[in-house]
Homo-oligomer: A and B are copies of this chain.
């Protein structure tokens, strides 16, 4: 309830700073008796890992997760799953120049205003490093949801002006992992990579979009009114660093549409002809693919000089230093998947509670 927890019945609490000894989390409410395949969890984590390709940051972190509790003889016990990822390649020196300076479009200034104290090393608690813990928890949730036939796949659907057409099916993991930008269309992927490399060369960064699809979610998941499934998905996604927009189904395009176009006609078998609803109606899943899109801004740290102010309000220049991604979306894919997995798992448990 103090901002570092997510979920109602399946609750993830995370802790840790970018340059502290470790980051970690507690996943509480996980159902008992689920076989915990730690390799699957590590695989998800490796997709988020820095230094994995030429278009990601060169920070090196092995990001090995250690489970500390909640698993006995390979199965979940119902007790909270505590886990830890040690920080290794923290180069705090890289950040001493921003100790008293506010980087543009970072959290530095806002944190100082809120807390009156700030662990400036690597962004401290505001670093996207925290999201590694979400990936661990999401992968664990995925192990359970898989047993219920639910699959979640995210992929890059836009980088700058290069965008992918709407996908009508959930792509396979292989399609997404076939290239380093994680776009299931190889031709578009090549364009995206070229754009990112060009931006990187210029010392700049570029924004993008991640689309996420869930298949196999039965109808009836989600709570009406405030805890609508897509409202909770929105919160889940907007809580990821650098996210500026959340869209469900038709998204911002809905503003331009007519009701006669937008309405999803029910077919004989309960499935709808179109899916502008994004698989959710009245906040509750209707059995179709759940589909949302998440817009990421360009990474704020650029390798160019920028004007700013320091703690005393004096003008200063922020130099681009540290190791950062030219475009965050390829590494955001496993994070978006994790947040959707956690959200669906939480609501799945909630629905089980009231079902006859």
Contacts and interface: CB of A to CB of B under 8 A. Distances in A.
Given A33-B117, A80-B4, A235-B232, A68 B22 contact: yes
Interface string A6-20: 111111011111001
Contacts of A84: 68, 84
Interface in A195-237: 199, 204-209, 218-228, 230-237
Given A26-B26, A255-B209, A268-B313, A277 B69 contact: no
A281 B105 contact: yes
A306 B22 contact: no
Given A31-B354, A207-B257, 14 more contacts: A3-B227, A4-B79, A21-B69, A72-B124, A75-B117, A77-B118, A113-B287, A115-B220, A207-B258, A231-B236, A235-B238, A255-B296, A265-B306, A270-B309
Contacts of A222: 110, 114
B20 A15 contact: no
A178 interface: no
A337 interface: no
A259 interface: yes
Nearest to A8: B1
A206 B257 contact: yes
A247 interface: yes
Interface in A257-275: 257-270, 272
Given A79-B124, A160-B255, A259-B299, A13 B26 contact: yes
A300 interface: yes
A28 B9 contact: no
B13 A28 contact: yes
Contacts of A15: 26, 28, 68-70, 79-82
A114 B220 contact: yes
Interface in A93-137: 102, 104-107, 109-111, 113-119, 124-126, 130
A106 B281 contact: yes
Given A1-B1, A124-B79, A349-B353, A116 B285 contact: no
A5 B5 contact: yes
Contact of A107 (B25, B270, B281): B281
Interface string A52-83: 00000000000000101110100111111110
Contact of A277 (B10, B105, B159, B219): B105
A251 interface: yes
B17 A5 contact: no
A305 to B, nearest CB: 10
A175 interface: no
Contact of A22 (B82, B119, B247): B82
Interface string A167-210: 00000000000000000000000000000000100001111110
Given A105-B276, A226-B6, A254-B295, A248 B245 contact: yes
